[in-house]
Amino acid sequence: MAVGMLTAILSGFVLAILAPGLNRMVRGGAGWLLALLPLGLAISFASHAPLIASGNVFSESNPWVPALGVDLSFRLDGLSMLLSLLITGVGALILVYAGGYLAGHPQLGRLYAFLLMFMGSMLGLVLADNILLLFVFWELTSISSYLLIGFDHERAAARSAALQALLVTAGGGLALMAGLLLLGQAGGSLELSTLLLQADYLHSHPLYLPSLVLILIGAFTKSAQFPFHFWLPSAMEAPTPVSAYLHSATMVKAGIYLLARLSPALGGTDAWFLSVTTVGGVTMLLGAWLALTQSDLKRILAYSTVSALGTLTLLLGLGGTLAVQAAMAFLVGHALYKGALFLVAGTLDHQTGSRDVDRLSGLFRAMPITALAAGIAALSMAGIAPLFGFLSKELSYEAALRAPAAAWITAAAVTANILLAAAAFIVGIRPFVGKAVPTPKPAREAPPSLWLGSVVLASLGAVMGLWPALGTDGLLSAAGTAVLGETVSIHLSLWHGLTLALALSAVTLIGGVIVYVSRGLLRRLASRWESLGQFGPARWYELVLLGLNGLAGGQTRLLQSGYLRYYLMIVLVATVGLAGATLATRGHLVKPTDWSGLHFYDVGLVVLILMATMGTVLARTRLAAIAALGVVGYSVALVFVLFGAPDVAMTQFLIETLTVILFVLVFYHLPETPALSSSLARGRDAVIAATVGVLMTAFVLIATVVQYQPPISEYFAEHGLPDAHGRNLVNVILVDFRGLDTLGEITVLAAAGIGVYALLKLRVGKQRGTASAARRSELAGGVDDASLPIANPMRKEGDVP
Amino acid sequence: MNLYELFNSLAADSARSIAGFQGELALCVTIVLLLLLRIPRLTSRIDSFFVMLIGSSVALYLAGPWRPLEQPSEIFTGLLVYDNFTVYFRTLLMAFAVLFAVFTKISGVPDRDAAPDIYALVLGATLGMCIMASANNMLMIFLGVEMASVPSYALAGLLKGRRQSSEAALKYAVYGAGAAGIMLYGISLISGILGTVHLPTMAVRLAELLQPANLESGLGSDTHMVLALGGMMIMVGLAFKLSAVPFHFWCPDVFEGATAEVNAFLSVASKAAALALLARVAIGFGYIPAPVLVETAPAASVETAALYNVADPPGEAPAAPAARTPAENAEAKAEAAVGFGPLPNREAQIAALAPAREFIWKLVAFVAVITCTFGNLAAYGQTNIKRLLAYSTIAQAGYMMMPVASAMVLAGTNAPAARDAISAVAFYAGAYVFMNLGAFAIVAFLRNMLHSEEIADYAGLLHRAPVTVICFCIVLVSLIGLPPLAGFFGKYQIFASLVDAKLWFVLFIAGLNTAISLYYYLRVVKIMTIDPEPDTRRPASMSFIPGTFIVLITAPIVILGVWPDSLNALARIATGQLF
């Protein structure tokens, strides 16, 4: 390409940054000016259309994150060309339209910026050849959609719609990312062009099914397929140009694009056929039915878009030359007439102040140009003969007739199309015919910026229908080739002879008129079923959010109570559970059998420790508890002495003394607190404490049996005399083997002593300032372990709203 | 060997070691300066901010080398390892110290009186974290964890006289002390069984203990269980530092009670160091690295090692060709005691460690999965931004632990993929510096502006402080992991490592959690950007300097999103010597 694809994409982002400034400089006309970029891009793309149509593929690649195998690689083939033309062409019209629609809006510059950012992202999405790059642009379109839906944030509905749309599409995007990762893992590459060539290998790969499901979730959320369709009508809160551009012509087609793009790699299996056609079919029917039950112009269009997206999905699910041809033709046709109708709906809203079909009538006289465009687009949507909509509908009927389970699919397609034809009349014809009624604003013809878009799109639909050979064939063939992975050639023509498809078209048209006429009856019928709506997916979405909220709240209340004692309890129970499970399943206790080495003073010591521990727990005053704790500590030190670790014993004595002194110093100044826990809580704590004790005992018993390395005492005994020249092993250990340790201990003790001295001085100096109190309690917490009795009722944290 | 020789060899080793320890020494000097300068009347007027800034900048400069090391080496007789991984994390930590200094100066917390204390504590903790990241010895691991933790307890209680803050500090300290005790118990069990505290030697012995012949005959199954329990106990200590469930309880309370400045420090530096340590320990027990260059002369190192590792008496010739460390020499004696033969080569050792790796990845993956799920769910309904971010840090810790599990799955069979997994951690930790520092900086500045830390009070803030809000949105979206921001590439690499390791369940949970996290991060975005501004808000605006700081911190998130290779290349260099 003359202009690099990367440049084309980036230009959108660059202009997005400049747009607000430009809007300030060129008051009023900025839309026209900004539209030059997409227009230029569209012309540039179009100039390559003949080459693409003749089967060429352009690709370019720049290194990005080589270590991850991610390159900025882009690929322009028939499919991406088709969508790029739509994105840039419709984009230019939308920018012009937005300038007129929101003229004088203080945030217009921001809207331009978001629109251009979206355009760049969408271009990136359809041009990317690397699946990771594709994902990046995919999520960028979701984010720009969020910004655009929330643009008009005066209304609460717009705000929640924006969040809903983003949650659904970005959540689906995450599924897509997981699916793409799996696909990349299965295919061994992140490049689409490589992946698409390995269909057979991928189909038999064990990761095929998970990746297919995840990718489909991503595509279905983006393209508003059942059961994720509910976000699209809510997203109609966005300003109309946004709805026309994102939620009809381009962004919602991203899911369709992905399905089409990946169908050579993923398609052609039963899983693909069943899931894609079923979801597509259900969406098609549901969307068409819901469209008819609405009275808001934009909501009618939104549901009919859902239905059209369902049709596209259905066609792609069917696969095969004919269905893909139909899908490509329908993709273009739909973008043209639906874009035009959305713009008309916006124009009507802008010029009359109402979007309610029941309040608009007889506007042809006041707004002839708009009416003309609307009429052509509506007729195209209804599938009337020389227009492009007719061609695409004809093709899809033919595809449906040849599909497996043809009767069902054809019946569904005809039903949906009848309903959609009626919807087309309601939107495009009904407001302009009949008797003129007064509207909130007196109706006047719109300025050129507001009718240009719909006129261009509607007349394109007419022109392409009348002269299908006008470059369309080649482009659609190239797109079909890209989707199918094999060369196809599409020849559209208005007259196929007297075929069954033609008969079905006629049936559709007649049915559409009948439904249109009896729409009042249908709507009354529908209102009776309205209560069913509360079981719809939108309700599920709310329920999921509510449920998550409840689950989160409950979990947090349960675990994060704000009380240290409960925290410790959870940790202890978890430890006992995990370690105990390991011990119980894998270990076996070795009962000590040899009691001969036991002396009476060992037994005495053990009894002393046990009694002192009980004393600590049961003591009524703090000082008594501290004293008892001290006894425990000294007794443990005696154990060290008895079992030949005098240096450790020495340290233990010192630490114990220091701890007791500190405790006394700190606790002496604390107020006495009454016993706060109930006897039930005490019992529970006793049980937990006992379990922990049992576990630790078992653990110690096992640990002592294990002996891999020789005991360290042998080493000392062996090396004491030759290396350190000392016969008194205790002395040798303290001053020779662990001389530096001893030095360190002395230093630490000295430092701690200074600390204690400073604390005492500080207390004398300052009268019980809060600062020193806080420091003292910290010090106490730091020195002792978790046995610090915390009786203060801690403030309960407001963890959950 | 006489005293003279001993000192000589010690001096020679130290001189070489200090060359790789200059950054830490600069930190030490700064700490001393901070504390001493305020005593003389003349120097007490110096703003300690400048001492901190210059000290940490010098430390950052010295933390280099600013080009990759060709060979990893052990310093201080094998206590620390000096490789690119050490350099990466050390640079990260010291860069954070510099940013932290600037941040606190701008936000005005701590005030000038408290500043020397706070800065000294922060630098002391940073020193401990550097040791955590470079630890090569169980004692250094414990020492590092404690050096990082104890100042943190005091930092959490920084707001003197505020009850909530003191309570948080107390909870933190009690928790930390308990976790440290359990960890120390685990360390002593494992070291006792393996007869050394030198990590590479421990791995070699572990390999001997776990070699297939022993496993088949059931020899030493008790030993294996004690090792497993010891391993779990060490994990308790690590989980505490990572604030992983169920040792996370301190985190939300501390984050709500402490100031946003301290939170930034705890959530970024502490987490990065804990992750580095987790990776070190996991790799240390699950893998035998390529032979390490020992810079000291062999004879000297034997003696100096004996000074520290009493259990490793000087012995016969080295048995295993790999890991030629002085401690290795005890090999022959160890075999004689129990009868497990040494393994022929490094490949056999790595293969023999398979059960250890399986244990580690299962443990890490389990903790990661529950941490991530708990954190995300708990963040769901929070109304206080600091509490929300606290749970978000817990959840993020869960994500960041996942690649360690992947690496352990892959290490035996596919070392390059395992290295990629660890570099995912390194990349994420790097990106995380900007994301979480950005988040807490914005919270601190908004606190100064609005006098509130409630999310509801941020409503419609876009009109009042557009730049700040846009930056905050970028930070939050990056924390979710959406493109095209730094967080996306971090998360992508994490997910990719899980795919490589075929840890489908973990991948599923991670994906699900990301979907859950969408809601609560985006809720904040929505409140700030599109909810209407309350009428009661007093006129206030973000002043220029804080705004600039926010923009400068947020810019790398965008830059790393568009050009991730800049950090990614460094992360890959950092992990290149691990496998």
**Eight-state DSSP code of residue A795:** P
User: Nearest to residue A782, comparing CAs of B143, B238, B233, B154?
Assistant: B154
Instruction: Identify the residue with better confidence: A20 or B173.
Output: B173
Strand partners, A59: A75
**CA–CA distance, B110 with B117 (Å, rounded to integer):** 9
Q: Tell me what the mean pLDDT of segment B29-56 comes to.
A: 86
Contacts of A574 in chain B (CB under 8 A): 246
Residue A20 to residue A108: CA distance in whole angstroms: 8
H-run or E-run covering A59: strand A58-65
Tell me which DSSP letter residue A254 carries: H
**Predicted local distance difference test score (pLDDT) of residue A766:** 54
The answer to whether the beta carbons of residues B441 and B550 sit under 8 Å apart is: yes
Minimum-distance CB partner of B334 among A578, A709, A798: A709
Which residues are paired to B293 by β-bridges? B73
- Per the DSSP assignment, residues forming a β-bridge with A356 are A296
Query: What per-residue confidence (pLDDT) applies to A495?
Result: 66
Nearest to B482 among A143, A153, A737 (CB): A143
C-beta atoms surrounding B482 within 10 Å = 28
pLDDT in tens, B338-386: 445 677 788 888 888 888 899 999 999 999 999 999 888 888 878 899 9
> Best of B147, B243, B253 to disrupt the A interface by mutation (most A CBs within 10 Å)?
B253
> What pLDDT score was predicted for residue A82?
87
pLDDT tens digits, residue range A752-761? Answer: 788 777 767 7
What phi, psi does A73 have (nearest 5°)? -110, 135
A513 and A622 in one domain? no
Q: Closest chain A residue to B485 measured between Cα atoms?
A: A136
Among candidate residues A411, A255, A235, the one with its CA nearest the CA of residue A327: A255
Residue B218, pLDDT > 80, answer: no
For A362, A579, A621, A694, B246, the CA distances from A689, given in Å and listed in that order, are: 85, 15, 21, 9, 18
CB A454 within 8 A of CB A350: no
What is the C-alpha separation between B382 and B515, in angstroms, rounded?
Answer: 17
Record: contact B222-A171, CB cut-off 8 A = no
For chain A, positions 113-152, list CB contacts with chain B under 8 A: 132, 135-137, 139-140, 143, 150
Q: Looking at chain A from residue 694 to 723, which residues have their Cβ under 8 Å from any Cβ of chain B?
A: 699, 702-703, 705-706, 708-710, 712, 715, 719
Partner-chain residue, chosen from B154, B382, B568, that has the shortest CB–CB distance to A67: B568
Distance between B153 CA and the closest CA of chain A, angstroms? 8
Q: What is the mean pLDDT of residues B307-329?
A: 40
**CA–CA gap between residue B467 and residue B492 (Å, rounded):** 28
The residue from A482, A517, A552 where one domain ends is: A517
Q: DSSP labels for B126-195?
A: HHHHHHHHHB-BHHHHHHHHHHHHHHHHHHHT-STT-HHHHHHHHHHHHHHHHHHHHHHHHHHHHHHHHT
Final residue of a structural domain among A464, A497, A517: A517
| DSSP run (H or E) holding A770 | helix A770-783
Among the partner residues B173, B377, B492, nearest to A552 by beta-carbon distance: B377
CA distance A79 to B163: 65
Across the interface, whether the CB atoms of A781 and B150 are under 8 A apart is answered: no
pLDDT at A782: 37
Average pLDDT, whole number, for chain B?
A: 84
Indicate whether A500 and A405 sit together in one domain.
yes
Which of A651, A670, A689 finishes a domain? A670
Q: What is the pLDDT of residue B96?
A: 94
Can you give the residue range of the structural domain that contains A605? 601-670
> In the predicted model, what is the mean pLDDT of residues B222-236?
85
What percentage of chain A carries pLDDT values higher than 90?
3
Task: Tell me whether residue A549 is in a domain.
Answer: no
Q: Cα distance from A560 to chain B (closest Cα, Å)?
A: 7
Q: What is the pLDDT of residues A476-531, one digit of tens each?
A: 778 888 888 777 776 666 666 667 777 888 888 888 888 887 877 777 777 776 66
Give residue B553's pLDDT band: very low, low, confident or very high (50, 70, 90): very high
Q: For residues B544 and A214, give the distance between their C-alpha atoms in angstroms, rounded to a whole number.
A: 46
Chain A: closest CA distance from residue B154 (Å):
8
Closest residue to A548, CB basis, from B153, B249, B380 = B380
Residues 6+ apart with CB under 8 A from A616: A625, A628, A629, A632
Which residue in chain A has the smallest CA separation from B330? A709
**Cβ contact A703–B189 (<8 Å):** yes
Give the residue from A346, A468, A431, A467 showing the smallest Cα distance to A93: A346
- ipTM value: 0.76
DSSP annotation string for A671-709: PP----S-HHHHHHHHHHHHHHHHHHHHHHHHHHH---S
Phi, psi of A549 (to 5 degrees): -60, -45
Q: What share of chain B is helix, strand, coil (3-state, %, to 5)?
A: 75, 0, 25
For residue A200, the distance in angstroms to the closest alpha carbon of chain B comes to 22
Most confident of A149-163, A713-727, B356-370: B356-370
Average pLDDT over residues A621-625: 83
Q: SS3 string of B189-239?
A: HHHHHHCCCEHHHHHHHHHHHCCHHHHHHCCCHHHHHHHHHHHHHHHHHHH
What tokens were used for B53? Answer: 């800034």
Interface of A with B in 464-523 (CB under 8 A): none
More confident residue, A566 or B321: A566
Say if residue A391 is in the same domain as residue A491: yes
pLDDT of residue B403: 95
Closest Cα of chain A to B564: distance in Å? Answer: 7
Examine the pLDDT at A451 and tell me if it is beyond 80: yes
Look at chain A and report how many structural domains it folds into. Answer: 2
End-to-end CA distance of chain A: 57
B95-134 pLDDT, tens digit per residue, is 999 999 999 989 887 777 788 888 999 999 999 999 999 9
pLDDT surpassing 80 at residue A680: yes
Q: Would residue A132 count as lying in a domain?
A: no
Same domain, A506 and A627: no
User: Is B484–A136 a contact, with Cβ atoms under 8 angstroms apart?
Assistant: yes
Q: pLDDT category, A590, cuts 50, 70, 90?
A: low
- Whether residue B110 has a cis bond before it, omega within 30° of 0: yes
| CA dist list (Å): A435 to A356, A360, A362 | 16, 9, 5
Minimum-distance CB partner of B193 among A65, A173, A709: A709
Cβ of A181 and B495 within 8 Å?
A: yes
B247: chain A residues, CB-CB within 8 Å: 571
Take residue A788 and report the two structure tokens written for it. 């610090």
Tell me what the pLDDT averaged over chain A comes to: 80
Confidence band for A795, pLDDT divided at 50, 70 and 90: very low
State the pTM of this model. Answer: 0.82
Q: Measure in Å the smallest separation between the Cα of B66 and chain A Cα atoms.
A: 21
**Residue A469: pLDDT band by 50, 70, 90 thresholds?**
low
| pLDDT single digits (tens) A298-336 | 888 888 899 999 988 988 888 878 888 888 888 888 888
Contact B313 A178 (CB under 8 A): no
Comparing CA positions, the residue from A176, A181, A261 lying closest to residue A213 is: A176
A271 lies in some domain: no
Say yes or no for a CB contact (<8 Å) between A770 and B374.
no
Sign of the alpha-carbon dihedral angle for A86, A89, A92, A94: negative
A413's CB contacts (< 8 A; 6+ apart) are A284, A311, A314, A396, A397, A400
More confident residue, B62 or B159: B62
The pLDDT confidence band at residue A709, using thresholds 50, 70 and 90, is: low
- Pairwise CA distance, residues B534 & B463, whole Å: 11
